[in-house]
Amino acid sequence: MLLLDTKYALKLCRKQNERVGISEELRGWSWDQPPVEPPIRGIELGVSDIASRYCASMRDIYLRYVLGVKAKPTLRMLEGKVYHEILRFAVEKVKKIVYTHNIIEGFPILKKASENIDEEIEKLIAEIFNANDVELNNSEFSRIFEKSLKLWRFLILKYAASVDNVRSKYENLSFDSLISQAIPQVAEYKIDGSRLGLSRNLSIDVFLPTYMVVDYKTGSRKHFHKLATTGYALVLEAELEVEVNVGAIIYIWFNGDNLPFLRTEYYYIGDEHRREFLETRDALIEIIEHSRDPGMPVRCYPYCPYRKICWRDKS
Q: How wide is the angle at C-alpha 106 spanned by C-alphas 101 and 108, nearest 5°?
A: 50
Supply the pLDDT for residue 2: 45
Supply the pLDDT for residue 207: 86
Dihedral in degrees, nearest 10, Cα atoms 265, 205, 196, 33: -40
The domain ranges of the chain are 6-69+185-307, 75-182
DSSP secondary structure letter of residue 223: G
Supply the pLDDT for residue 1: 40
Confirm if 12 and 212 have CB atoms less than 8 A apart: no
DSSP letters along 91-132, please? HHHHHHHHHHH---SHHHHHHHHHTTHHHHHHHHHHHHHHHT
DSSP secondary structure letter of residue 20: T
For the question of whether the overall pTM of this predicted structure is more than 0.75, the answer is yes
Contacts of 191 (CB under 8 A, 6+ apart): 202, 203, 204, 232, 235, 236, 239
pLDDT digits (tens, 9 = 90+) for 167-225: 888 888 888 888 888 888 888 899 999 999 999 999 998 888 778 899 999 878 888 99
pLDDT digits (tens, 9 = 90+) for 65-80: 999 998 888 899 999 9
Strand segments (E) across 209-278 = 212-217, 246-254, 260-268
Buried residues in 237-251 as b, exposed as e (16+ CB within 10 A):
bbbeeebbbbbbbbb
pLDDT tens over the chain, length 315 residues = 444 477 778 888 888 888 989 999 999 999 999 999 999 999 999 999 999 999 999 999 999 999 999 888 889 999 999 999 999 999 999 999 988 888 788 899 999 999 999 999 999 999 999 999 888 999 999 999 999 999 999 999 999 999 999 888 888 888 888 888 888 888 889 999 999 999 999 999 888 877 889 999 987 888 899 999 999 999 999 999 999 999 999 999 998 888 899 888 999 999 999 999 999 999 999 999 999 999 998 888 888 889 888 887 565
